[in-house]
């Protein structure tokens, strides 16, 4: 990013009013989309003359920070003196934070440098790829007929709560283009009734099943289409999972770019095969919730994720490449900064990498209020702003809308850029076949995100009086998706430990013994709040608390549960009551000391515990979005220890069941003699109990595998894996110094023994592999073939600035307060001075050799080598086998100037196959040029190693790899 304009407000952005430095706490309480930024302008003075990255009013009128949202516990119902004391403490904390910012200011002589990414202008136009050519042709015919206000309408949201969905655009009525409706995923349809609460993304990743990844996305899209939604705000592949305690890791598929990429691509295909737009998110490196956006944590700026070029390409952007190759319609840019430029205004990221290098043909939308400027974001490659409001919720002061109209009329934003923005959106609409009115109702959703009542107003965010209409039709779209949800939850359950006790049949017989020691019934005790229904799955808004059994994390990725089958319901009904005596204590604090017989009288104990997290606009207890540690919550570890030591008077067998958003440290209990089995049931969604029962009773052979590593301590993951809980400056700086080494790559590099490695998972049967065979399909070559010429030319339009009169409100137009319109009240105050475009804006950018089509240079996706292996079920039961392929780069390779550092191994393939007893199948993996390459920062291209031998290893986890072959 250049040192002048990137991420700054333009002179054409809404006027700056001091009272906008308020914290809209009421808006925060009523808004819960991708965020609740409630942010202010991070520059009050004119950015063209202000010192870069500074804010002279940053601490003159402080907003209510997250740390000030709760009253001091000591002051509830206490004296005024106590309240003053608490306030004094908070002031001291605030001063300390300010001091941190001051020292950061002193260190940099100002705030950290604004814009450390190189400028990349202008935005590459869409319409060059073969797969989109037909849609762009139709889109260009429609866009050419649009008026200026219609074009602005298509690109700008109407404002928070100004339509039935969480995101609503305006229509282009004269040409027949409808408003678009965008709704949160990725677990289901947020704020909707009669819709499925699917397992979370991390559970889907734990299945390691491409088939289920596709079906998960497809079922979600079927429900969204039937509810009237155009675009699903999912799937999620960012955060990647650099930090195991990250609050939103559970929305993605796992802590490996290859796994994330395949899962994301398969779910995108599933979604878009139904004609619904998928929105891959969040671009990029939004790895923690603390300081993810301005003011949410009391600081005027969001955290900056500082990443080197190679790490950005090989880790964080890798899965986005898979998404673009899969034809994703939309990409959502994130809240945080990348190398000190906001993601939604980073021209190198959006223009250079996404649209040129990766050949992205769809449109870029902002996360909700992640847009930090008007003109600059348009120039940097943003195509749609959501929800349309500017820097505050529901204030009607959009950074685009009428301001974008002005910017076109005065030349601040070239009409050529607006035309491309609109064309990308309309082309995506055609690409999905949404012009078919028999499948997509142009009238939009048949439900309201804002009320459960049948009748309401269309724009409840406006105070203007409106006629009540029918807003909820209560359409049930679930179909038979409960069966799929149950299958995913079961196949995503991971058996971590089993000393012969699982499965337990419905007569209480275990795998290792047949009730020989028991007289009469088998006595089974169930312990832990996580086994029960609690106060119901929807007791807390956006699932923002941990109570009862854990079915999902919290935030905009959560949904309303139509129901949630708790484990106790299924276990209570599952065992033959003539053979099994079942007792339960659905609390994490059973009265063991007063009633030791509770444990002593059990033959088998099943104890449940969990760990929850979510999006940063909500917090629960000490969990402020991100978890404070990797321990089980609500005393879960202590409960397990007590049960394991006391079950059957120390002679019983204990089974541990964990529901969790991410890795949990198990060292206090995993090796206790009484712990015979451990099941990690992830976040299973509405069919939780049924899926768990399927695995425990043996109806389903467990086949889930870890999508991340479980270490023995947080320190095992390295310094880069630790959440920044306290800011290190006014603009928090988070340096990704570990580079490529996250999760299992870090454990491998430093030879750290994990508790359970990445990819690990047990079965009720056993498998064996033959020696793999490698077949060369194409010979090695250092760089991909030359970038091909574009298949098609982007649409061309008349770029003459329209007549100013065209932009005025139509006569007799009835406005809604705070609704975002594209029209102007007057043209008398238009600024006509020349606009100082960003440094580098007129420079001719060389096209990337890594580009050339959707997903990049087509040669990157060509198969260069195949690896095949015979897999055999050698056990006593049929089951699913997850075969994993890892690759090691040739050693001692030298780049242009310095030695190239490679991870010990990287995941490069996986397959899930069902095998009957004694059955053998051939499992084959195709590796592309991209799979075999690394990002060469000197040549700015993907480079294959041509000297030395690649090593390929096949097995069932990242450390169970006893078969190796060279190429």
Burial class of 48 by CB neighbour count within 10 A (0 to 12, 13 to 18, 19+): middle
Which residues is 756 bridged to in the sheet? Answer: 710
Burial class of 597 by CB neighbour count within 10 A (0 to 12, 13 to 18, 19+): exposed
Q: What is the pLDDT of residue 84?
A: 47
774, 967 in Cβ contact below 8 A? Answer: yes
Give the residue from 147, 74, 129 showing the smallest Cα distance to 798: 147
CATH number for the domain running over 494-701: 3.40.50.1700
Q: What is the pLDDT of residue 828?
A: 85
Helix, strand, coil percent content, the chain, rounded in steps of 5: 25, 15, 55
Whole-angstrom distance, CA of residue 527 vs CA of residue 654: 10
Peptide bond into 284 cis (omega under 30): yes
Q: What is the pLDDT of residue 829?
A: 79
Mean pLDDT of 798-827: 94
Q: What is the pLDDT of residue 626?
A: 97
Whole-angstrom distance, CA of residue 35 vs CA of residue 19: 22
Orientation angle between helical segments 318-325 and 257-272, nearest 10 degrees:
20
Q: What is the pLDDT of residue 832?
A: 76
Task: From residue 20, give the alpha-carbon distance in Å to each of 14, 390, 391, 397.
Answer: 11, 11, 9, 11
Phi, psi of 488 (to 5 degrees): -65, -45
Domain boundaries, the chain: 132-288+298-448, 494-701, 768-787+854-966
Q: Which residue has the higher pLDDT, 640 or 89?
A: 640
The 3-state DSSP class for residue 936 equals strand
* Tokens, residue 440: 């997509």
**Does pLDDT of 515 surpass 80?**
no
Whole-angstrom distance, CA of residue 758 vs CA of residue 231: 33
* Tokens, residue 497: 């430990």
323, 352 in Cβ contact below 8 A? Answer: no
What confidence category does residue 931 fall into, taking pLDDT thresholds of 50, 70 and 90? very high
The 3-state DSSP class for residue 106 equals helix
Whole-angstrom distance, CA of residue 690 vs CA of residue 771: 39
Over 637-657, what HEC string results? HHHHHHHHHHHHHHCCEEEEE
712, 665 in Cβ contact below 8 A? Answer: yes
Mean pLDDT of 423-427: 98
**Does pLDDT of 151 surpass 90?**
yes
Task: From residue 14, give the alpha-carbon distance in Å to each of 20, 271, 343.
Answer: 11, 37, 21
229, 179 in Cβ contact below 8 A? Answer: no
723-768 per-position pLDDT tens digit: 999 999 999 999 999 999 999 999 999 999 999 999 999 999 999 9
Mean pLDDT of 921-942: 97
615-670 per-position pLDDT tens digit: 999 999 999 999 999 999 999 999 999 999 999 999 999 999 999 999 999 999 99
For residues 881-898, one letter each, b for 16 or more C-beta atoms within 10 angstroms of the residue's C-beta and e for the rest, the string is bbbbbbbbbbeebeeeee
For residues 477-512, one letter each, b for 16 or more C-beta atoms within 10 angstroms of the residue's C-beta and e for the rest, the string is bbeebbebbbbbbbbbbbbbbbeebbbbbbebebbe
The 3-state DSSP class for residue 202 equals helix
Give the residue from 336, 346, 407 showing the smallest Cα distance to 156: 407
**Does pLDDT of 416 surpass 60?**
yes
What confidence category does residue 894 fall into, taking pLDDT thresholds of 50, 70 and 90? low
For 387-474, list the strands marked E by DSSP: 455-456, 469-470
Q: What is the pLDDT of residue 101?
A: 44
Whole-angstrom distance, CA of residue 333 vs CA of residue 322: 16
Mean pLDDT of 36-46: 28
Q: What is the pLDDT of residue 419?
A: 98
The rounded percent of the chain whose pLDDT value lies above 90 is: 81
Q: Which residue matches tokens 């007549």?
A: 803
Please compute, for residue 416, the number of CA atoms within 13 A of its CA located in the half-sphere on the CB side: 9
648, 285 in Cβ contact below 8 A? Answer: no
* Tokens, residue 841: 């804006």
Q: What is the pLDDT of residue 112?
A: 53
* Tokens, residue 185: 């995923």
Q: What is the pLDDT of residue 28?
A: 27
Q: What is the pLDDT of residue 42?
A: 26
Which residues is 172 bridged to in the sheet? Answer: 177
423: part of which helix (H) or strand (E)? helix 415-431
351, 123 in Cβ contact below 8 A? Answer: yes
What confidence category does residue 7 fall into, taking pLDDT thresholds of 50, 70 and 90? very low
Phi, psi of 275 (to 5 degrees): 90, 5
Active site residues: 367
Provide the mean pLDDT of the chain: 88
Query: Rounded to the nearest 5 degrees, what angle is found at the Cα of 182, between the Cα atoms of 181 and 185?
Result: 145
Q: Which residue has the higher pLDDT, 697 or 21?
A: 697
* Tokens, residue 740: 């490529």
**Does pLDDT of 514 surpass 50?**
no
- 650: how many CB neighbours lie within 10 A of its CB? 12
Phi, psi of 721 (to 5 degrees): -90, 0
Q: Which of 547-556, 567-576, 698-707, 835-844 is predicted with the least confidence, judged by mean pLDDT?
A: 835-844
Query: Rounded to the nearest 5 degrees, what angle is found at the Cα of 205, between the Cα atoms of 201 and 210?
Result: 115
Q: Which CATH number fits domain 768-787+854-966: 3.40.640.10, 3.40.800.10, 1.10.150.120, 2.60.40.10?
A: 2.60.40.10
Q: Which residue matches tokens 């190189």?
A: 118
Q: What is the pLDDT of residue 843?
A: 85
Orientation angle between helical segments 210-226 and 481-491, nearest 10 degrees:
150
Torsion of CA 751, 756, 758, 761, to 10 degrees: 150
**Does pLDDT of 822 surpass 90?**
yes
Mean pLDDT of 155-179: 97
What confidence category does residue 29 fall into, taking pLDDT thresholds of 50, 70 and 90? very low
As a whole number of Å, the end-to-end CA separation of the chain is: 41
The rounded percent of the chain whose pLDDT value lies above 70 is: 86
Q: What is the pLDDT of residue 892?
A: 65
What confidence category does residue 519 fall into, taking pLDDT thresholds of 50, 70 and 90? low
**Does pLDDT of 69 surpass 50?**
no
Q: What is the pLDDT of residue 840?
A: 82
**Does pLDDT of 54 surpass 60?**
no
861, 853 in Cβ contact below 8 A? Answer: no
Q: Which CATH number fits domain 132-288+298-448: 3.40.50.10420, 3.20.20.300, 3.90.800.10, 3.40.50.10480?
A: 3.20.20.300
Mean pLDDT of 215-224: 98
What confidence category does residue 928 fall into, taking pLDDT thresholds of 50, 70 and 90? very high
163, 461 in Cβ contact below 8 A? Answer: no
Orientation angle between helical segments 148-155 and 402-409, nearest 10 degrees:
130
């Amino acid at each position: 990013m250049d040192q002048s304009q990137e991420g700054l407000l333009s002179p054409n952005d809404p006027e700056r009013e001091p009272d906008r430095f308020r914290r809209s706490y009421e808006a925060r309480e009523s808004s819960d989309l991708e965020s609740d930024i409630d942010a202010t302008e991070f520059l009050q003075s004119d950015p063209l003359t202000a010192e870069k990255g500074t804010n002279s009013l940053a601490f003159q009128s402080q907003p209510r920070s997250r740390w000030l949202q709760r009253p001091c516990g000591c002051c509830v119902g206490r004296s005024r003196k106590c309240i003053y004391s608490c306030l004094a403490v908070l002031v001291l904390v605030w001063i300390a934070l300010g001091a941190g910012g001051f020292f950061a200011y002193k260190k940099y002589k100002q705030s950290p440098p604004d814009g450390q990414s190189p400028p990349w202008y202008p935005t590459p136009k869409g319409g060059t790829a073969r797969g989109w050519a037909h849609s762009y042709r139709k889109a260009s015919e429609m866009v050419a007929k649009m008026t200026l206000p219609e074009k602005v309408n298509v690109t700008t949201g109407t404002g928070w709560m100004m339509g039935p969905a969480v995101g609503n655009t305006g229509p282009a009525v004269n040409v027949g283009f409808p408003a678009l409706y965008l709704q949160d995923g990725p677990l289901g349809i947020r704020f909707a009734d009669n819709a499925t609460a699917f397992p979370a993304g991390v559970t889907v990743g734990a299945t390691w099943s491409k088939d289920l990844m596709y079906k998960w996305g497809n079922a979600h899209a079927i429900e969204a289409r039937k509810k009237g939604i155009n675009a699903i705000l999912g799937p999620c592949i960012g955060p990647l999972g650099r930090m195991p305690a990250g609050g939103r890791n559970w929305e993605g598929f796992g802590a490996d770019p290859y796994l994330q990429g395949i899962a994301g691509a398969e779910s995108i295909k599933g979604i878009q095969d139904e004609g619904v737009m998928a929105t891959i998110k969040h671009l990029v490196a939004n790895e923690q919730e603390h300081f993810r956006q301005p003011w949410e944590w009391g600081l005027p700026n969001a955290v900056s994720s500082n990443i080197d070029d190679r790490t950005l390409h090989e880790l964080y952007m890798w899965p986005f490449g898979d998404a673009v190759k899969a034809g994703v319609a939309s990409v959502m840019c994130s809240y945080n900064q990348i190398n000190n430029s906001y993601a939604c205004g980073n021209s190198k990221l959006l223009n250079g990498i996404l649209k040129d290098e990766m050949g992205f043909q769809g449109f870029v939308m902002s996360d909700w209020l992640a847009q930090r400027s008007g003109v600059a974001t348009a120039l940097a490659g943003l195509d749609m702003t959501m929800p349309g409001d500017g820097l505050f919720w529901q204030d009607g002061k959009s950074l685009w809308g009428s301001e974008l109209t002005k910017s076109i009329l005065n030349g601040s934003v070239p009409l050529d850029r607006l035309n491309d923005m609109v064309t990308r959106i309309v082309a995506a609409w055609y690409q999905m076949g949404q012009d078919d009115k028999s499948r997509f109702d142009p009238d939009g959703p048949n439900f309201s995100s804002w009320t459960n009542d049948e009748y309401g107003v269309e724009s409840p965010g406006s105070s203007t009086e409106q006629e009540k209409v029918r807003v909820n039709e209560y359409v049930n779209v679930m179909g038979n998706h409960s069966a799929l949800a149950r299958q995913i939850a079961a196949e995503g359950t991971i058996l971590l430990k089993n000393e012969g006790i699982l499965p337990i049949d419905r007569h209480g017989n275990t795998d290792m013994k047949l009730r020989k020691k028991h007289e009469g019934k088998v006595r089974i005790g169930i312990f832990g709040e996580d086994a029960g229904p609690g106060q119901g799955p929807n007791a807390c808004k956006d699932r923002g608390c941990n109570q009862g059994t854990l079915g999902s994390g919290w935030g905009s990725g959560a949904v309303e549960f139509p129901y949630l089958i708790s484990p106790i319901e299924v276990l209570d009904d599952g065992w033959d009551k003539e053979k099994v005596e079942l007792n339960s204590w659905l609390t994490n604090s059973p009265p063991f000391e007063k009633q030791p017989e509770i444990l002593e009288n059990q033959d088998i104990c099943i104890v449940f515990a969990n760990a929850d997290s979510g999006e940063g606009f909500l917090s629960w207890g000490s969990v402020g979005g991100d978890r404070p540690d990797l321990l089980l919550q609500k005393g879960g570890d202590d409960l397990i220890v007590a049960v394991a030591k006391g079950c059957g008077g120390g002679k019983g067998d204990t089974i541990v069941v964990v529901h969790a958003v991410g890795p949990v440290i198990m060292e206090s209990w995993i090796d206790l003699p009484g712990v015979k089995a451990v099941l990690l049931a992830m976040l299973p969604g509405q069919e939780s109990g049924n899926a768990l029962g399927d695995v425990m009773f043996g109806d389903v052979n467990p086949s889930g595998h870890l999508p991340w590593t479980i270490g023995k301590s947080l320190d095992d993951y390295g310094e880069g894996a630790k959440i920044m809980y306290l800011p290190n400056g006014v603009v928090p700086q988070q340096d990704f110094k570990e580079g490529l080494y996250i999760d299992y790559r870090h454990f491998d590099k430093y030879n750290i023994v994990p508790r359970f490695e990445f990819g690990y998972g047990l079965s009720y049967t056993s498998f064996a592999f033959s020696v793999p065979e490698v077949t060369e399909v194409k010979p090695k070559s250092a760089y991909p073939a030359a970038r091909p010429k574009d298949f098609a030319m982007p649409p061309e339009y008349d770029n003459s600035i329209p007549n100013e009169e065209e932009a005025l409100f139509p006569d007799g137009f009835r406005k809604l307060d705070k609704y975002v319109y594209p029209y102007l009240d007057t043209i008398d105050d238009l600024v006509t001075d020349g606009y100082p475009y960003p440094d580098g804006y007129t420079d001719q950018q060389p096209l990337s050799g890594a580009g050339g089509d959707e997903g990049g240079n087509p040669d990157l996706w060509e198969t260069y080598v195949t690896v095949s292996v015979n897999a055999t079920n050698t056990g006593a039961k049929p089951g699913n086998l997850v075969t994993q392929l890892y690759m090691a780069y040739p050693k001692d390779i030298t780049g242009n100037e310095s030695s190239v550092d490679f991870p010990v191994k990287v995941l490069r393939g996986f397959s899930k196959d069902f095998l009957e007893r004694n059955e053998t199948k051939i499992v084959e993996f195709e590796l592309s040029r991209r799979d075999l390459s690394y990002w060469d920062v000197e040549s700015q291209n993907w480079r294959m190693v041509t000297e030395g031998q690649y090593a390929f290893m096949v097995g069932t986890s990242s450390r169970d790899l006893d078969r190796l072959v060279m190429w």
